[in-house]
Structure 1
Amino acid sequence: MDQVEDTVRAVLRDVLSLDAGRVAGFDADTELFGALPELDSMAVAGVLTELEDRLGIVIDDDEVDGEMLETFGALTRFAAGKALV
């Protein structure tokens, strides 16, 4: 799970061009979609594509919803659920 969390942090940092210190401070309750101006609908596609590449997972369009992008914890749990199957 720690590896998945580190990967999610790295993807958010790289795709959204966020400061590493800022991303390091994200916890499970840190709000993402709607709270980070950098995470718009176009950036969501980039984040999901990069997660697929780095974690070797496939994310179907019907799995993407507001809840899985609501917080850092929700996105990490989603990615871990896909990666650890």
Structure 2
Amino acid sequence: MVTTRELRSRVVDTIAETPLEPLRVELVIELCRWALTDVPDLDLPHLGRTTRAAVQLLLAEAVPELPASARDELARACEVIAVRRR
């Protein structure tokens, strides 16, 4: 299981090149955390892909200034975490 500290570290490393305000960084962390904790409870098939799609959509809507490449990288990282948790 990924801890909050590990998730924060991954997010910060991924978006290091993006000038986001600290509150926006916290929002990105919270959205990733939500996807990792709540998407599995939906009991949908293909947990990894579902998590990745949820993160991509949430980040695109809530943090549009985050570059698509960073959103994709974070979504893939969350997908891997979700699959490994199984």
Q: Which has the higher contact order (CA 8 A, sep 6+)?
A: 1
- TM-score, scaled relative to structure 1: 0.39
- TM-score, scaled relative to structure 2: 0.39
